[in-house]
Amino acid sequence: MENLDLPQVASTPSGAMIRTLGLVATICGLLIVSAYQGTLEAVAENKRIALERAVFKVIPKAASVKTFVAGSGGIQPEGTTQPEGAVKFYAAYDATGALQGIAAEGAAKGYADTVRVLYAYDPAKQAITGLGVVSMRETPGIGDKIYTDAAFLKNFEALDVRLNADMKYLAHAIKVVKHGTKQSPWEIDAIAGATVTSKAVGKGIQESAARLLPLLVPEQGKLTTAVEP
């Protein structure tokens, strides 16, 4: 400390500061880009496996999955350009290439956070035939019964989602009813004590199905034929 008495004025030139920040930014930029490029393939592969696992759970007969989008212009494979307002869905095929079902995601606010579910839609039955949970942070022991409660999961063996005559709306909106009061095939019998989470599941499916099915059903013939091996 030589100049203790003298006030230190701008000992660092501005150029040095800018040079340092520029150097750091360059090094960091290189690191981030290499990490991104280096992991790209593994991450894509992981995402594909995770998606397949989720879809196979709700459509057990499936052997392969393809991602499509349904929009005002019809159904097309998911690509880089997505038409406005298009809805993403997954078509599941068995080993011979026959369509086994459609899976799509629904999401709604639950008790703690958004509950994201994947449901299977069977075009032949015009019904929802399976339910899987993508992510949720509901109360352990209460809200997370949507994974395990057999009576609740029974709702999704044949949940009626047929469209009305002009194929614009669901003939009957999906409704979550109080535990033990289910009467119609489009109603979901809530889990006693976990009504909020049950309602989130119902709302997520209802909103997703009401958007997807009017776009999908008139075009679904394309899915059974447009299969590459």
* Interface positions with other proteins (CB under 8 A): 1, 12, 16-17, 20-21, 23-25, 27-28, 31-32, 35-36, 38-39, 42-43, 46-47, 50, 135, 139-141
Give the shortest CB-21-to-other proteins separation in angstroms.
Answer: 6
Quote helix, strand, coil % in the chain, to nearest 5.
35, 25, 40
Decide: residue 123, CB within 10 A, 0-12 exposed, 13-18 middle, 19+ buried. Answer: middle
Question: Nearer to other proteins by C-beta: 204 or 214?
Answer: 204
> Which two structure tokens, joined as six digits, stand for 6?
């003298």
Question: Nearer to other proteins by C-beta: 2 or 228?
Answer: 2
Q: Where are the beta strands (DSSP E) in 82-172?
A: 87-93, 99-109, 114-122, 127-135, 159-160
Question: Nearer to other proteins by C-beta: 132 or 214?
Answer: 132
Question: Nearer to other proteins by C-beta: 159 or 191?
Answer: 191
Give the shortest CB-37-to-other proteins separation in angstroms.
Answer: 9
Give the shortest CB-74-to-other proteins separation in angstroms.
Answer: 31
How many Cα atoms sit within 13 Å of 142 on the Cβ side?
Answer: 12
What is the sign of the dihedral through the CA atoms of 196, 202, 203 and 204? positive
Residue with tokens 């290189």: 30
Question: Nearer to other proteins by C-beta: 145 or 182?
Answer: 145
Give the shortest CB-204-to-other proteins separation in angstroms.
Answer: 17
H or E element at residue 77 = strand 74-77
- Measured in residues, the chain has a length of 229
> Which two structure tokens, joined as six digits, stand for 35?
């990490």
Question: Nearer to other proteins by C-beta: 36 or 169?
Answer: 36
Question: Nearer to other proteins by C-beta: 39 or 224?
Answer: 39
Give the shortest CB-76-to-other proteins separation in angstroms.
Answer: 26
Residues 187 and 98 sit within 8 Å (Cβ to Cβ): no
> Which two structure tokens, joined as six digits, stand for 202?
């119902």
Give the shortest CB-144-to-other proteins separation in angstroms.
Answer: 10
Identity of the residue numbered 216: L
Give the shortest CB-114-to-other proteins separation in angstroms.
Answer: 12
